[in-house]
A and B are shown apart, each in its own frame.
Chain A
Amino acid sequence: MMMKSDFWRAFARNKGAVLGLVILIAIVVLAVFASVLFPGDPWDMATAPFQPPLSDDALLGSDMLGRDIASGIAHGARVSLLIGLTSTAAALAIGVTLGALAGFHGGKVDDAIMRFTELFQTIPNFVLAVVLVAIFTPSLTTIVAAIAIVSWPPLARLARAEFLSLRTREFVQAAITTGQSNTTIILRQILPNSLSPIIVSASLMVATAILLESSLSFLGLGDPNAMSWGYMIGAARTVIRQAWWMSVFPGLAIVLTVLALNLVGEGLNDALNPKLARSRG
């Protein structure tokens, strides 16, 4: 692993990544201080319905029941980030475990796990996510679970590839001959050395998870108690002729967040995988 200062220097060389980080920090601040910036419940019918942006009591306008769009966006940031992070963590747990087992053991274990992975890659993932959430009734838990279940296969493949190549390296072979247990070898020797590409993928997956969550909420499969951006767009969709602002602003929030995460992910890639970074223009 490289030194911290090297990491930052490499990261900062990518101007987009720095911009992304700034946006991301701003969104995190917005999420953390949502209750301070917009005290009260984002579901409150605080003003008259259908108020256009720049109204006296609703900066970004109000929705069809008179709820403040700006407040919804601030509070929605929490849900988006929370779901993005937890579902990525869950997908990592499934994906890396399976990938590690497949890559480390090889042979029949590898074969079985890879067939299983293919199974999940063959079912169109969004269709599966919709069915899972609809069947197990929408809530934060089921949404996180559904996103994790449809998102782990690429992580498993990545982890498998890393483990396959690292397994043959001298230091792993050495560990095997000294009689260390498989678990120890996997956790102590191989995993730390395969972390960089996994971290990069995970950071990009947070962005994908946020997109997935917003898509589910857009279809009306969000947690009914949690104000989220996708919900706001989905609810406003039918009145888009009369009230563009209800769908435009939450959409911009999603674009900014996902963009920021992607930029940061690229920056991480540059910083953590200097070999690959060279291939960038």
Chain B
Amino acid sequence: MTRRLTGIPASFQRGFRRSVHRAAAAGLLAAALAIPGTAALVAAPAIAQETPVRGGVLNSIVQPEPPTLMLGLNQQGPTQTVGGKIYQGLLTYDQKLNPMPSLAKSWTISPDGLTYTFKLFENVKWHDGKPFTANDVVFTTSKFLMEVHPRARAVFSRCESITALDDHTVEFKLKEPFPAFIQAFEVSSAPIVPAHIYEGTDYRANPANNTPIGTGPFKLKEWVKGSYIQLVRNEDYFKEGLPYLDGITFRVIPDAASRSLALESGQVQQTQYSDLEPFEVPRMKTLPNLTMTTAGYEFVAPMAWLEINHRVKPLDDKRFRKAIAYAIDRKFIRDKIWFGLGRVPTGPINSVVKFYDPKVTTYEPNPEKAKALLDEMGLKPNGQGVRATVKLMPMPYGETWTRLGEYMKQALGKVGIAVVLESTDAAGWAQRVANWDYEITTNFLYQYGDPALGVARTYISSNIRKGVLFTNTMGYSNPKVDELFAKASQEIDPAKRQEQYSEVQRILSDELPVVWLLEMEFPTFLDKRVKNANTTAIGVNDTYESVWLAK
């Protein structure tokens, strides 16, 4: 049980995910209410296809180069991919988002949903040799993360108390039930940091940030800035015989063309997230030495949308937003701009996330319907065929988003909505979106495994907070939606929770506070010799303790 050999083929999972995952989710939560988490784990079949061999160095890419590897202080994607090998969370999740052991070997949830008790592995050591205990977990979750980690702050502020019952048992008592709590323990949400190094220091200025000390199967050996990050096997890792790899080297390759060449020529055996430009993916997929999967991103489950400022007329009118939805062709966006990566969304919840419900109002491309809605609003075309003019500020995160902006301008122009594109860079964009100084922008947010963690934040009116990114910047407010999200976040009966989330999905898909464009998928390319990688919902960010290289 110490090895995670969940060798279910990704394609099998993907085909079945939609139909089975709701049942699985409900079943798991019911089970988790009183039964130790280890029991639920048996459900994941362990199929070891070949005998792992020890040795070898895996080469991958890190892009962009992270500012630090101290995962507690920085949760950028690249920091997670590298830091996830050094640090660990209490849990990880399978690709249906069910919890699995990491630093915690088992856990129980009290029937009232208020008390979570985690049993920790006992022979775990920090990379500097000091023993890992419950005290580290208490320090991390009650002090360290509360100070520096916005996402963890939102979760652990729900705790009444966090206590070490003994050296290897931690108890979290919640103020109110919050069933999503169990989804908040993977390595980027709550990386456990060493209390003996950080307690009582200025966390951000601690010199140890440059020499990260974790519990993970790999240790930092050398970081040549601008060139590579070299991780080596942690010989004292607490799981006997693991990790298999001697080390992992992450190469810094800032140029996209160079990255695809490095993968093609075998200089690296793995790429992830946005390492490759989408247009390269169809070609790389055909290479004989590589496999491609889009599994392993279930935890982040990104959703892209048009973020619309409801304070600007006529964007406050849902008919106008519906007209936008009818004017665009999301299949075109997926196929021609993202080169086939992604799924066409139906509503606010990504279809791989728990409590997704497809029975909602959907919007097929229908320009005539869009025009009819605009007519109904009294927006008649002028001499140039323009009914209304809006400003669109595409997200400055690379060419794909620029193309998307250009497509929007053309598609909306066809129904008489003239679009003026606004150009900006990352700093200007963040500043303007956070301060509601925009009309329409493109954006994508991670959903973090549970609607209460990653979906509600966009739509609830209590999260209309000026100056803060990734909030309800639209100014959308519907008391019914607020109430449903609030109830669902505390509902411990999964069936009732599903009802509440289904209802909120129906309301949102009718009111369209934002116009969902794409359930984004990222491609992970692996050399065929790399085995056992990408088995969990955090895919490439997991520890890689049981990854091995075939000779």
Q: Are B279 and A134 in contact, CB atoms less than 8 angstroms apart?
A: no
B256 within 8 A of A: yes
Residues of A within 8 A of B406 (CB): 43, 65, 224
Q: Are B257 and A238 in contact, CB atoms less than 8 angstroms apart?
A: yes
Q: How distant is B439 from chain A, measured CB to nearest CB, in Å?
A: 14
Q: Are B336 and A139 in contact, CB atoms less than 8 angstroms apart?
A: no
Selected from A41, A64, A139, the residue in CB contact (under 8 A) with B279 is A64
A251 within 8 A of B: no
* Chain B contacts with A in 411-456, Cβ cutoff 8 A: 413, 420-425, 428
Q: Which of B102-110, B397-405, B483-491 is found at the contact surface with chain A?
A: B397-405
Q: Are A65 and B337 in contact, CB atoms less than 8 angstroms apart?
A: yes
Selected from A41, A137, A222, A238, the residue in CB contact (under 8 A) with B424 is A137
B17 within 8 A of A: no
Q: Are B422 and A65 in contact, CB atoms less than 8 angstroms apart?
A: no
Kindly state the separation between the CA atoms of A224 and B422 in the bound complex, as whole angstroms: 7
B410 within 8 A of A: yes
A238 with B277, Cβ < 8 A, contacts A43-B409, A224-B405 known: yes
Residues of A within 8 A of B403 (CB): 64-65, 235
A153 within 8 A of B: no
A45 with B407, Cβ < 8 A, contacts A224-B421, A238-B277 known: yes
Q: How large is the interface on B (under 10, 10 to 19, 20 to 34, 35 or more residues)?
A: 20 to 34
Q: Are B407 and A238 in contact, CB atoms less than 8 angstroms apart?
A: no
Q: Are B407 and A134 in contact, CB atoms less than 8 angstroms apart?
A: no
Q: How distant is B59 from chain A, measured CB to nearest CB, in Å?
A: 23
* Chain A contacts with B in 53-72, Cβ cutoff 8 A: 64-66
Q: How distant is A133 from chain B, measured CB to nearest CB, in Å?
A: 9
* Chain B contacts with A in 499-544, Cβ cutoff 8 A: none
Q: How distant is B535 from chain A, measured CB to nearest CB, in Å?
A: 32
Residues of B within 8 A of A225 (CB): 409, 420-421
Q: Are A238 and B422 in contact, CB atoms less than 8 angstroms apart?
A: no
Q: Are A224 and B423 in contact, CB atoms less than 8 angstroms apart?
A: yes
Interface 0/1 of B258-293, CB less than 8 Å to A: 000000000000000000010100000000000000
Residues of B within 8 A of A118 (CB): none
Residues of A within 8 A of B336 (CB): 49, 64-66
A111 within 8 A of B: no
Residue of B nearest to A225 (CB): B421
Selected from A137, A222, A223, the residue in CB contact (under 8 A) with B428 is A137
Q: How distant is A75 from chain B, measured CB to nearest CB, in Å?
A: 14
A220 within 8 A of B: yes
Q: How distant is B389 from chain A, measured CB to nearest CB, in Å?
A: 12
Residue of B nearest to A49 (CB): B336
Residues of B within 8 A of A137 (CB): 422-425, 428
Kindly state the separation between the CA atoms of A49 and B339 in the bound complex, as whole angstroms: 11
Q: How distant is B58 from chain A, measured CB to nearest CB, in Å?
A: 27
Residue of A nearest to B421 (CB): A224
Residues of A within 8 A of B402 (CB): 220, 224, 235
Q: How distant is B415 from chain A, measured CB to nearest CB, in Å?
A: 14
Kindly state the separation between the CA atoms of A222 and B423 in the bound complex, as whole angstroms: 8
Given contacts A224-B405, A238-B399, 5 further A-B contacts (CB under 8 A): A49-B336, A137-B424, A224-B402, A238-B256, A238-B279
Chain A residues with a Cβ under 8 A of chain B:
41, 43-45, 49, 64-66, 134, 137-139, 220-225, 235, 238-239, 242
Closest 8 CB pairs of A and B: A224-B421, A138-B423, A224-B423, A225-B421, A43-B410, A137-B424, A238-B277, A137-B423
16 A-B pairs in the complex with CB atoms less than 8 angstroms apart? A43-B410, A44-B410, A45-B407, A49-B336, A66-B336, A134-B425, A137-B423, A137-B424, A137-B428, A220-B399, A222-B423, A224-B402, A238-B256, A238-B279, A238-B399, A242-B279
